[in-house]
């Protein structure tokens, strides 16, 4: 008999990200990730979507941002990323850059990993020298 899966109490944002992770399409890496962003008081989810042509794979974080933009959001107020790793997995460089397009350096980034391992950080800590429109 398998032990019951431990569930820690999570914020609604993290619960949405956890549910998104369950829908990830990761048949090649088996590395499932879910993300949720808070924008204008609404939660938008994304999961990673792999492709047989590996370079076409999209990350959960960027898919969540795309969902927020589709809903009309112009700024993101928080992001939660749920993975199955310990320590929890941070967004990749590409996703950090996309988050920087819609969030400030103070953007809260909450990482949830295996058995509820939790890291709370900011976009500025993860990407201190973000490229932005001010350089254009």
Q: What are the residues binding Zn ion (CB under 5 A)?
A: 59, 92, 95
Q: Whose Cβ is closer to Zn ion: residue 95's or residue 126's?
A: 95
Smallest separation (angstroms) from Zn ion to the CB of 125: 17
C-beta contacts of 12-18 below 8 A and 24+ residues apart:
12/43, 13/38, 13/43, 13/78, 13/80, 13/110, 14/80, 14/82, 14/110, 14/112, 16/43, 16/45, 16/80, 17/45, 17/60, 17/64, 17/80, 17/81, 17/82, 17/112, 18/82, 18/112
Q: Whose Cβ is closer to Zn ion: residue 49's or residue 118's?
A: 49
Q: Whose Cβ is closer to Zn ion: residue 2's or residue 30's?
A: 30
Does residue 50 carry a catalytic annotation?
Answer: no
Smallest separation (angstroms) from Zn ion to the CB of 65: 10
Given the residues 50, 61, 101, 120, the one annotated as active site: 61
Determine the residue with CB nearest Zn ion. Answer: 59
Q: Please, are residues 114 and 86 in contact by the beta-carbon 8 Å criterion?
A: yes
Smallest separation (angstroms) from Zn ion to the CB of 94: 5
Distance CA 40, CA 36 (A): 13
Smallest separation (angstroms) from Zn ion to the CB of 37: 13
Q: Whose Cβ is closer to Zn ion: residue 8's or residue 92's?
A: 92
The partner residues of 43 in beta bridges, in order of sequence, read 38
Task: Cite the active site residues.
Answer: 61
């Amino acid at each position: 008999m398998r032990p019951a899966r431990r569930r820690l109490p999570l914020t609604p944002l993290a619960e949405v990200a956890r549910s998104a992770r369950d829908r990830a399409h990761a048949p090649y890496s088996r590395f499932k990730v879910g993300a949720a962003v808070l924008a204008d008081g609404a939660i938008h989810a994304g999961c990673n979507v792999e492709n047989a042509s590996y370079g076409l794979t999209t990350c959960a974080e960027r898919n969540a941002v795309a969902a927020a933009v589709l809903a009309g959001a112009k700024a993101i107020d928080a992001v939660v990323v749920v993975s199955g790793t310990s320590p929890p997995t941070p967004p990749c460089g590409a996703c950090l850059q996309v988050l920087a397009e819609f969030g400030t350096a103070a953007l809260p980034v909450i990482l949830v990993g295996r058995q509820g391992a939790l890291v709370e950080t900011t976009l500025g800590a993860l990407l201190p020298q973000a490229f932005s429109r001010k350089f254009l």
